[in-house]
């Protein structure tokens, strides 16, 4: 049985992750964590997530180290904010708990801090800007297209998200730019990215390859955040069964696309 802790447990993604974990026969939710001032604190996370009572109360992130020691999870799934995720990874590393991180918006320094903590603690990790299976197949497809189409086709990215999303461009858009840039042997900053924040759009990414004669488009549209939660659960299972100590994997590794 894989024992799971969830950070950001009462948030949009956290509730869906709790729901997905509760549906798995080989997983058990043992801890739920959120911010100290969260109004859902001390409530049963199963009720908050809209599933059945799970007998796991939402606790303060200030007590994360203590919570991990007492609940002894195998893996911590984190969908919070960049600064919080960095702190949570450091605590998990000291506790010897593997991590699955779905937070986006990390700067280079924050990413380096997480990498250092994971290596020092020799924990297993999956960090990905998008846990959707479809998006990761999209990543593979655009990598091949960027190579095959060649430099005659200019790449442009347009991404649309809900008005509540804090980071812009999205982590997924930045990953698309990195993939295309690597295939073209150019800098990712040279690829145009347009971000739109309107309404309640879950997530839409379009990559266009254009030249004067034709246009080739690749598009992924997320219909539900459930896709990300289901992918995070796949990653949690992977990191426990196939992860390597001190090594960061991503969703491409989880799906065997590398």
The 10s digit of each residue's pLDDT in 120-132 is: 999 999 999 899 9
Q: Report cis status (omega within 30 of 0) of the bond before 169.
A: yes
Q: What share of the chain in percent tops pLDDT 70?
A: 100
Per annotation, catalytic residue among 28, 43, 72, 165 = 165
Check if 165 is active-site.
Answer: yes
Q: Which of 41, 42, 46 is nearest to 18 (CA)?
A: 46
User: What mean pLDDT do residues 33-42 have?
Assistant: 95
Are 254 and 234 in contact by the 8 Å Cβ rule? The answer is yes
pLDDT at 253 over 90: yes
> What pTM does this model have?
0.88
Are the C-beta atoms of residues 150 and 105 closer than 8 Å to each other?
Answer: no
Residue 14 and residue 7 in contact, taking contact as beta carbons nearer than 8 Å: yes
Q: 59, 90, 161, 205: which is the annotated catalytic residue?
A: 161
Using one digit for the tens of pLDDT, what is the confidence trace for 51-96?
Answer: 999 999 999 999 999 999 999 999 999 999 999 999 999 999 999 9
Per-residue pLDDT tens digits for 236-249: 999 999 999 999 99
Told to judge if 161 belongs to the known catalytic residues of this protein, a careful annotator would answer yes
């Amino acid at each position: 049985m894989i024992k799971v802790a969830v950070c950001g447990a009462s948030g949009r993604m956290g509730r869906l992750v709790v729901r997905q974990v509760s549906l798995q026969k080989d997983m058990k939710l043992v801890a739920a964590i959120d911010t100290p001032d969260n109004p859902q604190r001390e409530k049963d996370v199963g009720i908050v997530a809209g599933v059945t009572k799970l007998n796991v109360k939402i606790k303060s992130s200030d007590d994360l180290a203590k919570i991990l020691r007492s609940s002894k999870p195998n893996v911590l799934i984190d969908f919070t904010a960049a600064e919080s995720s960095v702190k949570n990874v450091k605590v998990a590393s000291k506790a010897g708990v593997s991590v699955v991180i779905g937070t986006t918006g990390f700067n280079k320094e924050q990413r380096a801090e997480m990498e250092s903590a994971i290596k020092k603690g020799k924990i297993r990790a999956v960090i990905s800007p998008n846990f959707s299976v479809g998006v990761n197949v999209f990543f593979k497809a655009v990598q091949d297209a960027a190579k095959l189409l060649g430099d005659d086709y200019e790449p442009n990215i347009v991404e649309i998200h809900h008005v509540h999303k804090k980071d812009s461009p999205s982590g997924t858009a930045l990953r698309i730019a990195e993939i295309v840039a690597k295939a073209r042997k150019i800098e990712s900053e040279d690829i145009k990215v347009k971000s739109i924040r309107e309404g309640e759009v879950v997530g839409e990414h379009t990559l266009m390859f254009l030249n004067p004669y034709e246009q080739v488009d690749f598009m992924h549209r997320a219909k539900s955040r459930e896709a990300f939660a289901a992918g995070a659960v796949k990653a949690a299972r992977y990191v426990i069964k196939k992860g390597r100590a001190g090594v960061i994997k991503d969703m491409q590794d989880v799906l065997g696309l590398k």
